[in-house]
Amino acid sequence: MNKTIRILAIVLAVQAAVSAYSLMGRSSLEATPANSSLLSFEVGQVDHLVVNDAGQASTEIVKQGGKWVLPAADGFPADQAKVGRMLDTLHGLKRGLPVAASGADFTRFKVDGKSFERHVLLKKGNDVVADLYLGNGAGVNRSYARISQDKAVYDAAVGTYDLPTNPDGWEDKTVLGLADKEVSAIDLNSGLKLTRTVAADKTVDWQASALEAGKRPKQAAVNQWLSQLTAISFDKVLGKEAKPDYGLDKPALTVTLTYGKSARSYQFGKLKDGDNYVLKVSDRPEFFQLAGFAVKPLLDG
């Protein structure tokens, strides 16, 4: 009988402990109002964004002189709009009902300190203002999320693919853009020079130096070719050091554009391996890699 009583007492004690633990966890979660902000920071105060994955790939973006840049890419400009949108997204994340409240679930949702899809740090100077783990996808544009040191896992409205861990994913791909209507002259390495003229009736016309008198270049074709060049985008920055594999010793195309009181020269070289090209422009120190399909229309034009 005494043995039975002791066993019952132990069972009751275990049940009481489990119940108390459950109530403690529930009360701590219920203390945070539903639909409150998941992260507590002011967007304008953030000057440092770090994105890591569990494979140790990492990218940091730093605000310098009011602009976001990529230190790993020698301070190359980041996509200002993309960084701004991501900070707004993170600032707007809300707490719904937690999908888990135990460290035992962190691995399953991939939000623990060793197994995660993204680890996002936001800083103001040296101070961390937000520390967030993002895990498995929870649907379209959604991921499971956990604040560092927090036991609750939430379904958050942010996709990990919007937080690349390589600098290429944050580069400003528009830095080579020019306003084609500002271009007044096109000089090609073939010896052809095109000049934009404005007639008395304000008609805009392209004249070619190498054509017979009275003949005009095809206006639509020139405008289309120029718009492709002035809006050209690159795949990635190759750094600031010239290399033999870039093919710029014998460029596939050299062209100079005059716009306003400035000019920019373009040199396109065929990479030794593959179908890609390298572009060097006269007003930037970097070399840029471009896909072959982006360059081909310029070569054929």
Cα–Cα distance measured from residue 106 to residue 113, given in angstroms and rounded to the nearest whole number: 9
- One-letter amino acid for residue 272 of the chain: K
Which candidate, 238, 195, 42, 39, places its Cα nearest to that of 131?
Answer: 39
φ/ψ of 78, rounded to 5, equals: -85, 165
Tally of CA atoms within 13 A in the half-sphere of 287 that contains its CB: 19
Cα–Cα distance measured from residue 182 to residue 260, given in angstroms and rounded to the nearest whole number: 6
Q: What is the pTM of this model?
A: 0.80
Give the model's pLDDT for residue 177: 95
Give the model's pLDDT for residue 34: 63
Which candidate, 118, 142, 122, 139, places its Cα nearest to that of 131?
Answer: 122
pLDDT in single tens digits along all 301 residues of the chain? 454 445 444 434 434 333 333 434 444 444 455 678 999 999 999 999 999 999 989 999 999 999 999 998 889 999 999 999 999 999 999 998 899 988 889 999 999 999 999 999 999 999 999 999 999 998 889 999 999 989 999 999 999 999 999 999 999 999 999 999 999 999 998 888 999 988 777 788 899 987 666 678 899 999 999 999 999 999 999 999 999 999 999 999 999 999 989 999 999 999 998 999 999 999 999 999 999 999 999 999 7
Please report which helix (H) or strand (E) contains residue 266, including its range: strand 262-270
Tokens 């939000």 found at: 111
